Every structure is written in C-alpha cells, then in structure tokens.
Amino acid sequence: MRKIISLIIIGFLVLSGIGAIAIQEEKSNIHEPLMQPQIEIIARGGLGVTINVLNRGTQPFEERIALNVTINAPLMIIRAKNYLLINPPIPAGGSVTNSTGFVLGFGLCVVNIVAEIGETPDVYEANATGIVFWPLVIIKATSILIE
C-alpha cells in the first residue's frame, strides 16, 4: 500500500512538473503602440541663454516650435532677441540648438521660457532663476517635457 501511495505522489509531482515545463509563452510586441515623438526643451545659461530641443522619441517631430525666451534682470544694458523659431522636422533621436545671443546686464534674473507647439499652439512654460553677470547668464538647466 505504501508503494502505491508513493508511486501516486511521485506520479502527480512528475506530471505537474512536466506540464509546467512544457508550457512556454511567446512574447510579442505586435500590440505595443509605436512611441510617438517626445520633445524635451532644455534651457542653459552661458553667453545668453542656449535652448536645446531634443526629440527622444522614435518618430520624427513634424510641428513648428515657437520659443519666447525672456531674461528679466534689474540692470539690462543689452537685451537679447527673445523669439526663436524651430522649424520641422526634428529627426528621431535628433536635436536642434538655438541661442538668444549676447546679453549685457547685472543682477538676479528670472528666465521665462514659453514654448508654443503647432499651428493651433499648445503652450508650455518654465521659469528659471539665476544671475546675469555682464555677458554671462548663470542659471540651473531647466527643461520642458512634451509628450
């Protein structure tokens, strides 16, 4: 009797183990959506403010980006251009860099970046604080992520 119960238990264990080994699941990414363009706009200081527009997606970005960059400081002797236009396309994984140009001023500053995307614009905004010290604009890198 013990042998029969032992054989039955061993049989169940073997059969359940074989079933678990025999079933394999195939993974497929057919139903996953394509990753759309994902735009990141990064503002950095320097001689003026440098704007870097990155496409982190897998598709090209086909819309126009209008950037309005304003540098406000108590003493601004020379103001930079504040309207930048980024023309499409931005390839997947690519980037475009633009700059406000030379500024001259002194004091604490607030840099306001407004991005308008497309013909009927979606508006995104970011602010950074820093210092304008003659031609240098010193700010912490600020970014806007657009998905």
| 31-48 tens-digit pLDDT | 445 567 789 999 999 999
Q: Whole-structure pTM over 0.85, yes or no?
A: no
Per-residue pLDDT at 26 exceeds 60: no
Q: Are 89 and 62 in contact (CB under 8 A)?
A: yes
Tokens read off for 62: 């086909």
Distance CA 126, CA 16 (A): 59
| 71-116 tens-digit pLDDT | 999 999 998 878 888 888 999 999 999 999 889 999 999 999 999 9
Amino acid identity, residue 83?
A: Y
Q: Write down the pLDDT at residue 31.
A: 47
Distance CA 69, CA 136 (A): 16
Domains of the chain: 46-146 (2.60.40)
Residues sharing a CB contact under 8 Å with residue 68, sequence separation 6 or more, in sequence order: 82, 83, 84, 112, 113, 114, 116
